[in-house]
C-alpha cells in the first residue's frame, strides 16, 4: 500500500532495503555455481579407486550452497526477515566505520603481499599488530610483542606440529 507522499523512484529502493537478504542468497548461489564448476572440471586420475574421490566433497558443498541459496530466497520472498542484531550492543542507525574496514583490508592485503618475501613470522606479526591497531588497540609497547608471540606460535603449530609448510622468510635459519 502506498501513500500519496511516496515517489515511484523511492519504492524500489525500500523494497530492496526490506529484502536485502536476497543479496546474500545471490552470493551463495554464485559461490555454489563456482564450487560446482570447479569440482566438475577438476582433473582426476583415472586409476583412482573407491567411491569417494577428490570431487565428492566439493560437489556436496556446492549442492548444499545452491540449496541454501534457494531456501533463503524463498524464505525472504515469503516475508521472512533476519533477526536484527539483538545480542550485541550496537546502534544500527549509525553508519558503518569505513576507516576500520579499510584499515583491516589494507592489513590483509599487506600480509598477502609480504608473506613470500618476509615469511610468515614477520608478515603474521604485522597482520596481528595491524589488526589490533585497526580495531582500536593503542598499546604501542605491548601489542607488537603479543603480535610477534602469536605469529611465532602460529608458525610453529602449523609448520612443525601440523605439517603445513609456511614460508619462513629470512628467519628460516633462525627458527
As a whole number of angstroms, the distance between CA 34 and CA 82 comes to 26
**Which triple of cell numbers denotes residue 133?**
591497531
96: its cell numbers: 558503518
Q: Is the dihedral of CA 135, 141, 142, 147 positive or negative?
A: positive
Place of cell 576507516: 99
Which pLDDT value is given to residue 62?
A: 96
Could you give the C-alpha distances from 29 to 16, 147, 166, in angstroms and in order? 18, 37, 33
Q: What's the residue count for the chain?
A: 175
Residue 50: what pLDDT? 65
The model's pLDDT over 152-170, given as tens digits with 9 standing for 90+, comes to 999 999 988 888 889 988 8
* For range 2-19, the mean pLDDT: 59
Res 38: pLDDT: 93
pLDDT band at 14 (very low <50, low <70, confident <90, very high): confident
Nearest-angstrom CA–CA distance, 7 and 17? 16
pLDDT at position 48 is 62
Tens digit of each residue's pLDDT (9 = 90 or more) over 26-58: 999 999 999 999 998 988 776 666 677 778 889
Residue 51's alpha-carbon distances to 42, 54, 55, 103, 133, in angstroms, are 16, 10, 10, 46, 49
Residue 113 is predicted with a pLDDT of 95
Per-residue model confidence as pLDDT tens digits over 105-149: 999 999 999 999 999 999 999 999 999 999 999 999 999 999 999
Q: What pLDDT score does 173 carry?
A: 73
Burial class (CB within 10 angstroms; exposed 0-12, middle 13-18, buried 19+) of 4: exposed
46, HSE (Cβ side, Cα atoms, 13 Å)? 0
pLDDT attached to residue 4: 53
- For residues 116 and 167, the answer to whether their CB atoms sit within 8 Å is yes
Count of beta carbons in the 10 Å neighbourhood of residue 83: 6
**pLDDT at residue 8 greater than cutoff 60:** no
**In this predicted structure, what is the pLDDT of residue 63?**
97
pLDDT at 30: 97
Residue pLDDT, tens place only, 56-104: 889 999 999 999 999 999 998 888 776 766 656 666 677 888 899 999 9
Amino acid at each position: 500500500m502506498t501513500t500519496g507522499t511516496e515517489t515511484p523512484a523511492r519504492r524500489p529502493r525500500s523494497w530492496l532495503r526490506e529484502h536485502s537478504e536476497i543479496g546474500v542468497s545471490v552470493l551463495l548461489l554464485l559461490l555454489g555455481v563456482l564450487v560446482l564448476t570447479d569440482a566438475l572440471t577438476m582433473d582426476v586420475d583415472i586409476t583412482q579407486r573407491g567411491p569417494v574421490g577428490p570431487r565428492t566433497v566439493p560437489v556436496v558443498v556446492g549442492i548444499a550452497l545452491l540449496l541454501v541459496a534457494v531456501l533463503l530466497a524463498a524464505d525472504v520472498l515469503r516475508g521472512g526477515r533476519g533477526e536484527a542484531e539483538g545480542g550485541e550492543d550496537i546502534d544500527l542507525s549509525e553508519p558503518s566505520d569505513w576507516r576500520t574496514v579499510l584499515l583491516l583490508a589494507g592489513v590483509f592485503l599487506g600480509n598477502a603481499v609480504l608473506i613470500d618475501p618476509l615469511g610468515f613470522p614477520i608478515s603474521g606479526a604485522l597482520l596481528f599488530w595491524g589488526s589490533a591497531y585497526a580495531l582500536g588497540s593503542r598499546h604501542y609497547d605491548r601489542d607488537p610483542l603479543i603480535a610477534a608471540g602469536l605469529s611465532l606460535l602460529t608458525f610453529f603449530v602449523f609448520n612443525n606440529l601440523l605439517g603445513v609448510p609456511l614460508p619462513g622468510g629470512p628467519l628460516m635459519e633462525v627458527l
